[in-house]
Amino acid sequence: MLPAVDKIFFVGVGTGEAALEFANELGIDPKLCFGDDAGAAGDALGLKKGVGTMWNPPAVSTMMDRNDEESLKAIGEAYKNAADNIGIQNLAPKEMKDTLRQGGTFVFKGDKLLLEHYDEKVGDNASIEDILASI
Protein backbone atom coordinates (compact mmCIF):
# COMPACT_ATOMS: atom_id res chain seq x y z
CA MET A 1 0.00 0.00 0.00
CA LEU A 2 1.28 3.45 -0.89
CA PRO A 3 1.70 6.05 1.84
CA ALA A 4 -0.72 8.98 1.94
CA VAL A 5 0.61 11.91 -0.05
CA ASP A 6 -0.63 15.43 0.64
CA LYS A 7 0.22 16.91 -2.76
CA ILE A 8 2.19 16.06 -5.81
CA PHE A 9 2.99 18.62 -8.50
CA PHE A 10 4.08 18.04 -12.07
CA VAL A 11 6.23 20.63 -13.85
CA GLY A 12 7.34 20.13 -17.42
CA VAL A 13 8.87 22.02 -20.29
CA GLY A 14 6.29 23.75 -22.43
CA THR A 15 3.33 26.02 -22.06
CA GLY A 16 0.57 26.12 -19.49
CA GLU A 17 -1.72 24.94 -22.27
CA ALA A 18 0.50 21.86 -22.73
CA ALA A 19 0.41 21.22 -18.95
CA LEU A 20 -3.39 21.39 -19.01
CA GLU A 21 -3.50 18.95 -21.92
CA PHE A 22 -1.07 16.64 -20.06
CA ALA A 23 -3.42 16.70 -17.06
CA ASN A 24 -6.48 16.01 -19.21
CA GLU A 25 -4.85 13.13 -21.08
CA LEU A 26 -3.64 11.41 -17.92
CA GLY A 27 -6.59 12.18 -15.66
CA ILE A 28 -4.59 14.38 -13.28
CA ASP A 29 -6.03 17.43 -11.50
CA PRO A 30 -4.96 20.35 -13.75
CA LYS A 31 -4.28 22.49 -10.64
CA LEU A 32 -1.27 20.22 -9.99
CA CYS A 33 0.34 20.62 -13.44
CA PHE A 34 2.54 23.51 -14.55
CA GLY A 35 4.43 24.42 -17.70
CA ASP A 36 7.93 25.91 -17.43
CA ASP A 37 7.80 27.60 -20.82
CA ALA A 38 10.91 29.77 -20.63
CA GLY A 39 12.84 27.37 -18.40
CA ALA A 40 12.98 29.66 -15.35
CA ALA A 41 12.15 26.84 -12.92
CA GLY A 42 14.66 24.52 -14.58
CA ASP A 43 17.34 27.21 -14.43
CA ALA A 44 16.58 27.95 -10.76
CA LEU A 45 16.86 24.24 -9.93
CA GLY A 46 20.06 23.84 -11.93
CA LEU A 47 18.61 21.17 -14.23
CA LYS A 48 20.95 19.94 -16.94
CA LYS A 49 20.39 21.10 -20.51
CA GLY A 50 21.90 20.99 -23.96
CA VAL A 51 22.46 18.54 -26.78
CA GLY A 52 25.07 16.63 -24.75
CA THR A 53 22.39 15.51 -22.30
CA MET A 54 20.18 13.93 -24.91
CA TRP A 55 21.97 10.75 -26.01
CA ASN A 56 22.17 8.06 -23.35
CA PRO A 57 21.60 4.52 -24.66
CA PRO A 58 22.17 2.78 -21.26
CA ALA A 59 19.58 4.98 -19.53
CA VAL A 60 17.10 4.56 -22.38
CA SER A 61 17.59 0.79 -22.11
CA THR A 62 16.95 0.98 -18.34
CA MET A 63 13.85 3.09 -18.94
CA MET A 64 12.56 0.54 -21.46
CA ASP A 65 13.24 -2.31 -18.99
CA ARG A 66 11.17 -0.69 -16.20
CA ASN A 67 8.14 0.00 -18.44
CA ASP A 68 6.02 -2.68 -20.00
CA GLU A 69 4.67 -2.47 -23.53
CA GLU A 70 1.23 -1.40 -22.31
CA SER A 71 2.54 1.60 -20.35
CA LEU A 72 4.77 2.71 -23.24
CA LYS A 73 1.79 2.51 -25.62
CA ALA A 74 -0.33 4.52 -23.16
CA ILE A 75 2.31 7.26 -22.99
CA GLY A 76 2.61 7.31 -26.77
CA GLU A 77 -1.16 7.54 -27.18
CA ALA A 78 -1.37 10.35 -24.62
CA TYR A 79 1.24 12.37 -26.56
CA LYS A 80 -0.48 11.66 -29.88
CA ASN A 81 -3.87 12.68 -28.49
CA ALA A 82 -2.40 15.84 -26.98
CA ALA A 83 -0.76 16.75 -30.29
CA ASP A 84 -4.03 16.09 -32.10
CA ASN A 85 -5.97 18.19 -29.56
CA ILE A 86 -3.79 21.30 -29.33
CA GLY A 87 -1.18 20.88 -32.05
CA ILE A 88 2.42 19.74 -31.74
CA GLN A 89 3.65 23.37 -31.75
CA ASN A 90 1.60 24.07 -28.62
CA LEU A 91 3.04 21.10 -26.74
CA ALA A 92 6.63 22.22 -27.09
CA PRO A 93 8.17 25.27 -25.44
CA LYS A 94 8.21 28.42 -27.56
CA GLU A 95 12.02 28.18 -27.74
CA MET A 96 12.99 24.78 -29.15
CA LYS A 97 16.28 24.90 -27.21
CA ASP A 98 14.19 24.49 -24.06
CA THR A 99 13.24 20.97 -25.21
CA LEU A 100 16.87 19.99 -24.56
CA ARG A 101 16.42 20.24 -20.79
CA GLN A 102 16.60 17.29 -18.46
CA GLY A 103 14.32 16.92 -15.49
CA GLY A 104 14.59 16.02 -11.89
CA THR A 105 12.61 14.70 -8.97
CA PHE A 106 12.29 16.66 -5.75
CA VAL A 107 10.30 15.49 -2.74
CA PHE A 108 9.55 17.89 0.10
CA LYS A 109 7.74 17.65 3.38
CA GLY A 110 6.96 21.27 4.12
CA ASP A 111 10.24 23.06 3.44
CA LYS A 112 12.38 19.99 4.22
CA LEU A 113 13.94 18.37 1.15
CA LEU A 114 13.53 14.59 1.37
CA LEU A 115 14.75 13.57 -2.09
CA GLU A 116 16.76 15.44 -4.69
CA HIS A 117 17.51 13.77 -8.02
CA TYR A 118 18.87 15.48 -11.13
CA ASP A 119 18.51 13.62 -14.43
CA GLU A 120 21.92 13.66 -16.09
CA LYS A 121 20.65 12.47 -19.48
CA VAL A 122 17.48 11.18 -21.12
CA GLY A 123 16.03 8.28 -19.13
CA ASP A 124 18.14 8.90 -16.01
CA ASN A 125 15.10 9.26 -13.78
CA ALA A 126 14.79 8.75 -10.05
CA SER A 127 13.75 5.22 -9.24
CA ILE A 128 10.23 4.61 -8.04
CA GLU A 129 11.73 2.77 -5.07
CA ASP A 130 13.74 5.86 -4.04
CA ILE A 131 10.72 8.11 -4.43
CA LEU A 132 8.48 5.86 -2.36
CA ALA A 133 11.18 5.39 0.29
CA SER A 134 11.45 9.17 0.66
CA ILE A 135 7.76 9.61 1.43
Per-residue b or e along 88-107, where b marks 16 or more CB atoms closer than 10 Å to that residue's CB: eeebbbeeeebebbbbbebb
pLDDT truncated to tens, each residue of the chain (135 aa)? 555 666 788 998 888 898 999 898 888 899 999 999 888 999 999 998 888 777 767 766 777 777 778 887 887 888 788 888 888 777 777 787 777 888 899 998 888 999 999 988 877 889 889 999 998
Q: What is the pTM of this model?
A: 0.69
